[in-house]
């Protein structure tokens, strides 16, 4: 009985500390916004500066304090180190990308369906943001900084503190908290799926460099490379021509950017191939029971898992805050 109470307190602390970090990040963002609006409001009109300033509350305030709190208050257990061969890494990369694209499609279908019901299209925030960013900012933020920090915060810190309760608990918790932290439904679906797969790789290898590199690869292809190609084909100009239904204008637009359109077509073909290959490999490996998850030192009864891991004050508060934000993004 004491072990069960201790388990619930353990996960509640984890939720409270992540919620505290969230509050600090939002508070610092608000303070910075007020000061900038007071002294130099025109800065906020530049999305590149907005993104760079948004890194400050997370990377210099919220996340460092979170690490300090967790290291002092919540005990950790590192996964055992196991080597991964080059072939295993390539297969993992294909599965990771395939699952990510499949989950992204599922998320877009879900948000489109919700938009049809509400009569208000659900904006894909990440697409609108990336479209307005300079490639150097995308490279710095999405491809370099975000994968390193996010893998440490949402993979290592969470997995190390959930592992003694079982690899399955660590994998699911890491993915869900990572997905929720993105704050919108489009990203939640694929971030949760990627988060669980990367958490699986971390518990099996104990090597965070592997998950960081795969996270970088996905963000490079899905964020940096795709944004460059969409800008090269001048997608906005094409959509304007397409909405008019004027075939001559459409063909002129395509021929005027023919080289870029060819590259975009090859990129699209690559994504389709990766999507199919990743899903097929995932199904084959799942059928061969390659995704087995070991039990932990502390065995939580199945009927009590949800209650102890999620239905505690800290986790409920963390999840509620982010679910509310997701709902606001959908309906407001």
Question: How does pLDDT run along the chain (332 residues), one tens digit per residue?
Answer: 788 889 999 999 999 999 999 999 999 999 998 888 888 888 877 888 888 888 889 999 999 999 999 999 999 999 999 999 999 999 999 999 999 999 999 998 988 888 888 777 777 667 667 777 888 999 999 999 999 999 999 999 999 999 999 999 999 999 999 999 998 888 899 999 999 999 999 999 999 999 999 999 999 999 899 989 988 888 777 777 777 777 887 888 888 888 899 999 999 999 999 999 999 999 999 999 999 999 999 999 889 999 999 999 999 999 999 999 888 887 76
Q: What is the largest CA-CA distance in the chain?
A: 75
Question: What's the pLDDT at 59?
Answer: 92
CA distances from 326 to 111, 124, 183, 237, 247 (A): 11, 12, 5, 31, 39
In whole angstroms, give the CA distance from residue 43 to residue 10: 43
Q: pTM for this structure?
A: 0.93
Question: What's the pLDDT at 28?
Answer: 93
Question: What's the pLDDT at 50?
Answer: 84
Question: What's the pLDDT at 103?
Answer: 95
In whole angstroms, give the CA distance from residue 203 to residue 292: 11
Question: What's the pLDDT at 117?
Answer: 83
Sign of CA dihedral 126, 176, 65, 208: negative
Question: What's the pLDDT at 250?
Answer: 80
CB 296 within 8 A of CB 164: yes
């Amino acid at each position: 009985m004491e072990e069960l109470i201790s388990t619930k307190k353990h996960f509640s602390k984890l939720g409270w500390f992540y919620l505290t970090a969230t509050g600090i990040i939002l508070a610092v963002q608000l303070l910075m916004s007020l000061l900038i609006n007071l002294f130099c409001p025109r800065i906020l009109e530049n999305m590149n500066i907005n993104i760079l300033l948004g890194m400050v509350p997370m990377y210099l305030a919220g996340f460092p304090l979170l690490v300090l709190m967790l290291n002092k208050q919540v005990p950790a257990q590192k996964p055992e180190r196991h080597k991964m061969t080059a072939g295993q890494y390539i297969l993992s990369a294909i599965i990771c990308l395939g699952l990510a694209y499949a989950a992204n499609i599922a998320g877009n279908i879900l948000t489109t369906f919700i938009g049809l019901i509400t009569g208000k299209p659900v904006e894909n925030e990440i697409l609108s943001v990336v479209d307005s960013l300079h490639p150097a900012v995308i490279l710095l933020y999405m491809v370099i900084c975000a994968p390193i920090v996010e893998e440490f915060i949402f993979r290592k810190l969470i997995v190390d503190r959930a592992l003694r309760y079982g690899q399955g608990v660590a994998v699911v918790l890491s993915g869900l908290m990572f997905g929720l932290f993105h704050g919108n439904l489009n990203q939640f679906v694929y971030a949760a799926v990627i988060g669980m797969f990367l958490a699986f790789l971390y518990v099996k290898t104990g090597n965070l460099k592997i998950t960081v590199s795969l996270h970088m690869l996905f963000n490079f292809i899905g964020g940096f490379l795709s944004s460059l190609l969409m800008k090269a084909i001048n997608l906005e100009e094409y959509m304007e021509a397409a909405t008019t239904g004027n075939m001559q204008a459409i063909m002129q637009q395509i021929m005027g950017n023919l080289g870029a359109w060819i590259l975009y077509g090859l990129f699209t073909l690559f994504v389709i191939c990766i999507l199919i290959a990743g899903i097929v490999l995932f199904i084959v490996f799942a059928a061969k029971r390659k995704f087995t998850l070991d039990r932990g030192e502390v065995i939580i009864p199945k009927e009590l898992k949800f209650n102890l891991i999620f239905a505690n004050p800290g986790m409920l508060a963390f999840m509620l805050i982010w679910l509310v934000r997701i709902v606001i993004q959908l309906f407001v």
